[in-house]
Structure 1
Amino acid sequence: MSRDLLLGLDGGGSKTILACVDRQGSIVALRHGTALDPMADPDWPTRFADLLASLQDLLPDVRRAVLGLPFHGEVEAISRQQNAVVASLLGMPCEVLNDVHVAFEGALAGKPGVLALAGTGSMGWAGDGRDRHIRVGGWGDLLGDEGSAHWVGREALSQMTQALDGRSADKVFADALLASLRIGEAEVIGWSYLNSSRRSDVAALAEVVDDLAETGNATALTILARAADYLIDHVRAAARRIGTPQPLVWSHAGGLFRSATVLRLMTEALGAPVAPDLPPIGGAILRAARQSGWTTDDPAWRARLAASFAATIRPGGFRHSGSVA
C-alpha cells in the first residue's frame, strides 16, 4: 500500500544520517553513514548512492526530500555537483541546503534566533523566521573555525608541544594528550604529517581537553574559555547582522556543546539557550513537512517526531553535559 513519506538527510562533518518519516511523525527507516564531505572524499556520490540504495523499497513513497550537505552554498563548483548528484538519484522534489541550515531548522523549529554550531567546524547561523538567513564564521580550519572542536584540538596540540619543549610547565596536560593519541614524544611529527584522518583526529582531542577541564586543569580550562569567547562572538555578530529581537534567542548544535564548561560560559554571557527542538536530521524533515503542507505547527506532531528521533539516535561525544546537540 502506498503511503506519504518524507526523506531527510544530515550530512555533517563527521557522519551522515538519513531518515524516512511518515505523516504521523514516526521514523519508518533510519540509516547511518560516513560523512559526505566533498573536500575529504571525492567519491562521496558513491557513498550517497549506497545509502539511498538501502532505502530502495521506500523511495517510491517519498514525496519530498530536504538534504543538508557540507559546503553547500559555500563553494560554487561543489554546490553545482551536489545539486546534480541529488537530482540524478532522487526523482521527487528535493531541496539541498547547507548542513548547518538544517541544524538551525531543527534546533529553533524555524523560529527567529541564532544557532551556534560547534562541531568539527564552527559557525553562527541566524534566521528571521521568514526564511531570511545569514551566517557568521564557517571559514574552514585554515581561515577560521574558531571555537570548534578542531580549533580546541589544534590549540591543545600546541600546548602539548610547548610542554614537551619545556616552554610551559603543564606536563600533565601533555602526557594526557600523548596517551589519548597512543604515541610517544618521538612520534608526534610523524603523526601530524602522515595521518590521513588528521582533521577528525585533531577534533576528537576536544573531548580529552574537556575531561582535563573537569579535573580543574588550568591549560584545558583556558582553551575552553577561549573557545567559548569565540562562539559568543559568532552568536552576537549573527544576531546583530540579522536584527533578531531581544532578548536574544539562541540554541546550539555540535559535539562541543556537550562540554559543560563551554555551555556554562556561553550561558553566562548570552543567557540560557533554547533547548534544541529537534536534532539536525529532524530539521531536514521539518522543513520538508512544511513544504509539503503537513501540520507541522501542531506541538503534538513535533513532539512525536522528536520522541521518534530520541528513541533511535544515540547521542555521542562528551559525557559531562546533559545537552543533546
Structure 2
Amino acid sequence: MTTLVIGVDGGGTSTRCVVATESGEVAGRGYGAGANILSAADPGESLRTALLAALEGLSPGAVAAGVFALAGSESARERAGILAAEAWRACGLAGRVEIVPDPLAAFAGATEEPSGTVLIAGTGAVAARITGRRLARRADGHGWLLGDAGSGVWIGRRAVQAVLAFLDGRAGPTALLDAVAGHVALREEPDREAAAGHGGAAAPMTTQRVVQAVHGGIAEVGPAWLGRLAPAVEAAAGEGDAAALEIVREAAGRLVSTTLSLGPGPGPLVLAGSLLTEPTLLAARVRADLGGTLLTARDSAAGAAALALHGTVPDALPAHRKLIA
C-alpha cells in the first residue's frame, strides 16, 4: 500500500488540503471555508470538509502523517490542537498529526530550502524567519484586532474608515464609497427586498448603515468580511482614487517594515498570500521596496504536505521538489 501524507493550509478565508504520496505525487485535493483559529466562524467544520473532499476515493488507513498549518494557531495552540485532532478522527485517520505555524507551510510551498524568510499578506499578515524548517522568529500576525498591518482585513477596515470620514464631512469624496455601499447593500439584500415588496425605497447610505453592516458582517462570517473589500481598494487605486492609493501605499509600507524588522538572514525571501502572489499594485510596491530576488509562494497546502514528508520519508527532498513544482 502506498504511504500517504496530508497537508492542510487553514487561512482566514479558505482551507485547502493536499494528500500526497511518499514520492511527491498529489493524490487528492479538498477545500473548505476559513479555518483561522482566532477569526473563522467554524474552523473545525472547515477542516473536516477539506479533509473529506481530499480523501475521496483514497484509503484513510494509508495516511501516515499530517501537518496542519493553521492561521492563529500560535495564539490558540490548545484549541487548534483539539480542532485538528477532532477533524482527523472524524475522517477515520489514525496517523500522527502536527500543528505548525502557517508561515512555515507557506515557505515550504515555495522552496525546498530549509531556511529563509517569508512574508504573507492575505486575509491576515505576518513575516517570519525560518531556520531548519522551524519557525525561528516572527513579526506581526497578531490578528485583525491587534495587528496584521497591510493585510486584506486591514485594507478593508481602512476603506470603511475612509468612507466614514467622507460621510462625516471629515474628508473629501472617494470612489470607495460605491464599493462600500455595494458591500453594505449586498448584506442587506434580504431586508431590502422585503422593504421593496411593501412599497419601501432604498435608504440613503449613512454612517449608521455602514457601521451596522460592518459589525453584522463580522459577527456572521468573521473579520474576513472586511477583507472582501481589498479588491475594490486595489481597483480604485488603479483608477487613481487618492484615498485608495494612500491605503495601498500605507499597506505596502507596513508590510515592508514588518519584513525588515526581522533583520538580514540567509536563504530566499518568499512572498505568499493572495495580495502578494497576484499581480496587484500592492505586490508591485512591496517587491520594489524590498528589492533583491524574491520567490512567489505556490501552494501552502502542498508545503504542509512536504513538511509531513520530511517527518515520514528518510530523504524527502526529491519528493518535496516534485510536490511544489
Structure 2 segments unaligned to the other structure (5+ residues): 187-203
Q: What letter is aligned with 2:271?
A: H
Among 272, 286, 291, which residue is 1:271 paired with?
Answer: 291
Match of residue 144 from structure 2:
141
SS at match of 2:134: coil
- Counterpart selection for 1:280 from 289, 300, 324: 300
Given candidates 265, 275, 283, the residue that maps to 1:244 is 265
Q: Deviations over 1:37-83 (max 9, x none)?
A: 34445754344345444527421111221111232222244245246
Partner of 2:189: none
| Distance in 2 separating the partners of 1:286 and 1:23 | 9
CA spacing shift, 1:202–1:282, aligned 2, 3 Å: same
Aligned to 1:222: 246
- My pick for the range that moved more, 193-202 or 281-290, is 193-202
Q: Is the 8 A contact 2:175 2:236 kept in 1?
A: no
Give the partner amino acid of 2:170. Answer: R
Q: CA RMSD in A?
A: 2.5
Distance 1:295 1:277, change over 3 A: farther
Q: Which residue of 2 aligns with 1:128?
A: 131
Q: 1:303 to 1:37 in 2, by over 3 A?
A: closer
Give the superposition deviation at 1:104: 2.2
Alpha-carbon distance in 1 for matches of 2:171, 2:41: 41
TM-score (norm 2): 0.82
State the identity as a percent: 24
Q: In the TM superposition, what are the counterparts of 1:289-308 in structure 2 within 5 Å?
A: 289-293=309-313, 295-298=315-318, 301-302=319-320, 304-307=322-325
Could you tell me the TM-score, scaled by structure 1's length? 0.82
Shift of 1:19: 1.6
After superposing the two structures, state which structure 1 stretch, 98-107 or 182-191, moved more.
182-191
Q: Which runs of 5+ in 1 are unaligned?
A: 308-325
Measure how far apart 1:123 and its partner are.
0.5
Letter in 2 for 1:69: L
Question: Which residue in the other structure is 2:199 paired with?
Answer: none
2:233 to 198, 209, 217: 209
Is 1:260 aligned to 2:280, yes or no? yes
Query: Which whole-Å deviations, capped at 9, do the CAs of 1:130-170 have from their partners, x for residues lacking one?
Result: 63521110111221111111111111111111112222222
Partner of 1:194: 216
Task: Rate the CA distance shift 1:6–1:259 in 2: closer, same or farther, 3 A.
Answer: same
Matching residue within 134, 152, 156 for 1:153: 156
Counterpart contact for 1:64–1:292, Cα < 8 Å: yes
Deviations 1:262-286 (A, max 9, x none): 1222222211453235310111111
Cα 1:23/1:76, change in 2 over 3 Å? closer
Distance (Å, rounded) in 1 between the aligned partners of 2:298 and 2:50 = 22
Alpha-carbon distance, 1:22 to partner:
1.8
Aligned match of 2:197: none
Q: Distance in 1 between matches of 2:245 and 2:28?
A: 41
Aligned length, in residue pairs? 299
Rounded Cα–Cα distance in structure 1 between residues aligned with 2:305 and 2:260: 28
In structure 2, what is the Cα distance between the partners aligned to 1:130 and 1:302?
12
Give matches, 1:10-21, under 5 Å.
10-21=9-20
Residues 1:134 and 1:82: Cα distance change in structure 2 (over 3 Å)? farther
Please name the residue that 1:97 is paired with: 100
CA offset digits 1:4-56 (Å, max 9, x no partner): 21111111111111121123422211111112234445754344345444527
- Which position in structure 2 is the counterpart of 1:114? 117
**Residue in structure 2 matched with residue 172 of structure 1 by the alignment:** 175
Structure 2 letter corresponding to 1:34: A
Return the alpha-carbon distance in structure 1 between the equivalents of residues 69 and 31 of structure 2.
14
Are 1:67 and 1:97, in contact at CA under 8 Å, matched by a contact in 2?
yes
Q: For residue 146 of structure 2, what is the amino acid of its counterpart?
A: L
